[in-house]
Structure 1
Amino acid sequence: MIQFFLIILFLSMAFIQAVAQPPAVDEEGRKAMQNLSFLAGDWEGEGWVMAGPGQKESMSLTENIRYAADSTSIFIESESNKASRPSIAVMIHYDSQAGEYVFNMSMSNGLSGRKKGEFTDGKFIWYQAENVRFTMSPTGPDSWHEIGEVQQDGQWFPVYEVNMRRAG
C-alpha cells in the first residue's frame, strides 16, 4: 500500500514539474521563420487567376500577415474583391523534426489542408499538390510577388499571379 502511494506521489510530482516549467522556444524554427520576414505586414495588390482555359480573371487582394507564437509561426488573412475567390486563413511554421515548412490553410468555401513548403534561393515555395506550386518572393523592401503554377508534361504553366505592396 505504501508503494502504491509513493508511486502516485512520484507521478504527481513529475506531472506538476512538467506542467510548471514553461516550454522552450524552438530556436531552429524561429530562425527558419525569419526567412519569411519579407511577408510580415499589411499588404494590398493586384493579380489574376485562371478562370478557365485561356481566361484570366483580374482581382485585387488585401493580406494581413503577422508573426505569432514567439515568432515561430506566421498567420495570413487574405481577402479578394472577387466573390468567386474564397477568403483564406493560413498558418505557416517550421517543423524542426521534419526539417520542412508546414503550410496549413483554411478557406471560406470549406476547403482546407496541410501542405509542405520550402525556402530556396530567397523564395518560399509551398505545394498544393505534387504538380501545383505557389512561389512567394520579395521584389523590394515594400513589395513581394506570388505565382501559382501547374506542371504538365514536365513544364510549369502559370495559373495565378499577384504583386503585393505594403498598404498605407
Structure 2
Amino acid sequence: MKFYLTITITLLISTLGFSQTSETDSIYKAKIKKLDFMVGNWKGTGWRMERNGKSEFEQTNRIEFKLDSTAVLIEGKGISKGKIVHNALSILTYDKTNDNYIFRSYLPNGMNAEFKAEIIENKLYWYTNDNIRFRIWQNEKGQWYETGEYKRENSWIQFFEMTLNREQ
C-alpha cells in the first residue's frame, strides 16, 4: 500500500510540475518570439570609432532560437584588414522576475558579462552601463541595423554602426 501511495504522490507532483513548466515556458517563448526578427544568418559591414578615427569591418552573425525557443544564441565575427576584430557568443533570455531581457556575452579571451536588455518600439536595446547602449532592429529594407551610442551630458553620440543582409 505504501508503494502505491508513494507512486501516486510522485505522479501528482510531477504532473503539477509539468503544468507549471508549460505555463512558464509559454511566457518565455512569447517574450523571446519578439526577437524573431533577429533569427537567421547575416552578413554585411559596419564601422566603429577608434582613437585614430573610423575603422570599418565586415561582419557575419548567426542567430538561432535554442532551448525550445526560450533563448536566442548569437554568434558574431567581425574582420578588418584580414584580422578578427570582434568574436563573440551571446545568449539572450527573458527574466520573468524583473520583466526584462538578459544579454550575456562571451569572448574568446575568457571575458564574459551580463547586460540588461529590453524591447522598445520593436528595437532591442542592451546596455553595457548607464551611459552606453546598443540598439538592434530590422530597418525598412529588412536589414539588421545596429548602432552603439554613448551618453554625453543629455545627448547620445554614435560610435558604432552595422548593417547586415540576411543570407539565404
TM, length-normalised to structure 1: 0.83
3-state SS in 2 of match to 1:30: helix
Give, as a single letter, the amino acid of the residue that structure 2 aligns with 1:133.
R
Correspondence for 1:48: 47
3-state SS in 2 of match to 1:27: helix
Q: Deviations over 1:83-128 (max 9, x none)?
A: 3623100000111121000000001233210100010111000001
3-state SS in 1 of match to 2:27: helix
Give, as a single letter, the amino acid of the residue that structure 2 aligns with 1:27.
S
Correspondence for 2:67: 69
C-alpha separation between the residues in 2 aligned to 1:69 and 1:141?
30
C-alpha separation between the residues in 2 aligned to 1:111 and 1:48?
23
Note closer, same or farther for the CA distance 1:162–1:116 as it changes in structure 2 (3 Å cut): same
Correspondence for 2:146: 146
| Residues 77, 84 of structure 2: 8 Å contact kept | no
3-state SS in 2 of match to 1:66: strand
Percent of residue pairs identical: 25
Q: Figure out how many residues of one structure are paired with residues of the other and give that number.
A: 158
Give, as a single letter, the amino acid of the residue that structure 2 aligns with 1:65.
I
Question: Which range moves more in the overlay, 134-143 or 29-38?
Answer: 134-143
Give, as a single letter, the amino acid of the residue that structure 1 aligns with 2:113.
G
Q: Deviations over 1:10-55 (max 9, x none)?
A: 7xx76xx559x654352122111111111000000100011116x0
Q: How does 1:77-92 map to 2 (within 5 A)?
A: 77-82=75-80, 83=83, 85-92=85-92
Give, as a single letter, the amino acid of the residue that structure 2 aligns with 1:127.
Y
Show structure 1 runs of 4+ deviating over 4 A.
Answer: none
3-state SS in 2 of match to 1:86: strand
Correspondence for 1:122: 122
Offset of residue 144 of structure 1: 1.6
Correspondence for 1:58: 56
Correspondence for 1:163: 163
| Residues 86, 109 of structure 1: 8 Å contact kept | no
Give, as a single letter, the amino acid of the residue that structure 1 aligns with 2:138.
P
Q: Give the root-mean-square deviation of aligned CA atoms.
A: 2.4
Mark the runs of 5 or more structure 1 residues left unpaired by the alignment. Answer: 1-5
* Aligned: 1:31 with 2:37: no
3-state SS in 2 of match to 1:64: strand
TM, length-normalised to structure 2: 0.83
Mark the runs of 5 or more structure 2 residues left unpaired by the alignment. Answer: none
